[in-house]
Amino acid sequence: MVTGSIVALATPMKVNGDIDWEALRRLVNFHLDHGTDGIVAAGTTGEPTTMSFAEHFDVIRAVVEEVDGRIPVIAGTGANATSEAVELARYASEVGADYCLSVCPYYNKPTQEGLYRHFKAVAEGSELPVILYNVPGRTCSDLYNETVLRLAEVDNIVGLKDATGNLERAEDLINRLAGSGFMLYSGDDGTACDFMLMGGHGDISVTANVAPQAMHDLCVAAVAGDAERAHQLNTRLMPLHTNLGIEANPIPVKWALNRMGLLEPGIRLPLTWLSEKYHSTISEALQLAGLIDD
């Protein structure tokens, strides 16, 4: 069971778009050295929808190998075809990931019954514990609370990443699943602090890419119920929470990582490098968080 700050890891790429395997290993060790509690490999921030199957597999395997059991690895295995999501989850299990993160099928807009059957098939098709991922702003597919409660009864489905940012809805799930062992993670950095103070178990975070130690400290405080400390840390990080969404993720966070000297300016179409008009905004957020000097 993983709690705390779980980084939704960006995948380093070279300027020509090739995956930068050396930089990927360095980035994993950056997180191991700075308090990150878990790593999502090839999740949304990792650009898996632009990767071939082989590349997707290789990113998961490379992260698992570099982590070498030191913290949990959660493999991004979502797909809009159920058979493909099952195949990805099976592969992640074979290479030693600890969990898989399976997003609601995107574009094809399934019903709630379709979502239930999709995730049930993923859980039955893989030995890995499954964390559901609801991000309707990207998928046009919203996993309702009642469907989450149904899925929480399915063997091998162990948690949910809720990226709706809706705290009222999150509180309902937290209260109804209290004591069940089902893990509830925020997937929205701007509301994650309050999500955890209400009883959530952690944050699957974009901000943690650039501020791993601060996000770890924030999550420890919030999960422990230390509201004063958590809000203090969160206030300092809020410009990052807000501005790392100034263009589509992972555009701003990859620019920020490049600004910090952690990866090359590589991203794959249809995403493009951060618009120049936002460079000063992201730089200022990094300065306020104490991550760069100027």
Provide the token pair at 17. Answer: 């778009």
Beta-carbon contacts of 75 under 8 Å, excluding residues fewer than 6 positions away, are: 40, 41, 42, 60, 64, 88, 89, 92, 97, 99, 100, 101, 128
Catalytic residue, chosen from 133, 254, 277, 278, is 133
Cα(167)–Cα(184) distance, rounded to whole angstroms? Answer: 12
Residue from 103, 109, 144, 102 nearest 123 by CA: 102
Cβ neighbourhood burial of 94 (10 Å; 0-12, 13-18, 19+): middle
| The residue type at 236 | R
Query: Is 277 annotated as catalytic?
Result: no
Coil, strand or helix at 4:
strand
Give the up-direction half-sphere exposure of residue 78: CA atoms within 13 A in the CB hemisphere.
30
Check 116, 161, 185, 254 and give the catalytic one. 161
Contact 85, 106 (CB under 8 A): no
Q: What is the DSSP letter of 263?
A: S
174 is in an annotated binding site: no
Which H/E stretch holds residue 223? helix 212-223
Active-site residue 161, yes or no? yes
Torsion of CA 121, 125, 128, 134, to 10 degrees: -20
- The whole-angstrom separation of Cα 18 and Cα 64 is 20
* 204 annotated ligand binder: yes
Please enumerate, by residue number, every residue annotated as part of a binding site for pyruvate.
45, 204
Please enumerate, by residue number, every residue annotated as part of a binding site.
45, 204
Which of the residues are catalytic? 133, 161
